[in-house]
Amino acid sequence: MSNPRGVVLALLLLCTAAGVTACDRSGDAETIFVSLRTSETYQFAMVTGVEDGARIVSQAEHFSLSEIRRDSTTNWSAVYVYAPSAGFLGEDGVQLEITTGSDGASAPTLRRRVTIRFSIRE
């Protein structure tokens, strides 16, 4: 393809067909399965570096608490915390993105997606 638009279109189609993470240099993905009682709270430690980051990509649906904490209670590490809604029994899930590899002057170079699947029981 000598046409620059054709090259861009081909790359765009390749990324779309293969999934977005296939074109991300660091498209690591992980799924974690967790079984919880309705009265329990789950914590998932993610990153500790000042330049490292974490965000919720897809929020859980049946929660009383679903957030990333990064404060003195977590020793400034990013920790995802989840507690199911009162009375909820069944399946729930959240997708997180963890970014690392920044030198402080540039953007993170590594991205990892973590999907947590919750099975809530009495």
Quick one: pLDDT at residue 15? 38
Domain presence at residue 17:
no
| Cβ pair 98, 105 in contact under 8 A | no
CATH number reported for the structural domain that contains residue 114 in this entry: 2.60.40.2020
Query: What is the distance between the alpha carbons of residues 87 and 89, in angstroms, rounded to a whole number?
Result: 6
Write out the E strands in 1-122: 28-37, 42-47, 53-58, 63-69, 78-84, 90-100, 110-121
Closest to 27 measured CA to CA, from 10, 15, 44: 15
How many domains does the chain fold into? 1
pLDDT tens sequence across 28-68? 899 999 999 999 999 999 999 888 999 999 999 999 999 99
Q: What percent of the chain stands above pLDDT 70?
A: 78
Query: In this structure, is residue 7 part of a structural domain?
Result: no
Per-residue confidence band for 20, with pLDDT thresholds at 50, 70 and 90: very low
Instruction: Give phi and psi for 20, each to the nearest 5.
Output: -60, -40
The per-residue pLDDT for 27 is 59
Q: What does the buried/exposed string (b/e) look like for 12-50 if buried means 16 or more CB atoms within 10 Å of the residue's CB?
A: eeeeeeeeeeeeeeeeeeeeeeeebeeeeebebebbeee
18 part of a folded domain: no
For 83-118, write each residue's pLDDT tens digit.
Answer: 999 999 999 999 999 999 988 888 889 999 999 999
On the question of pLDDT at 4 being above 70, the answer is no
Q: Which residue has the tokens 């002057």?
A: 105
Domain ranges, residue 78:
25-121
Q: Is residue 71 part of a domain?
A: yes
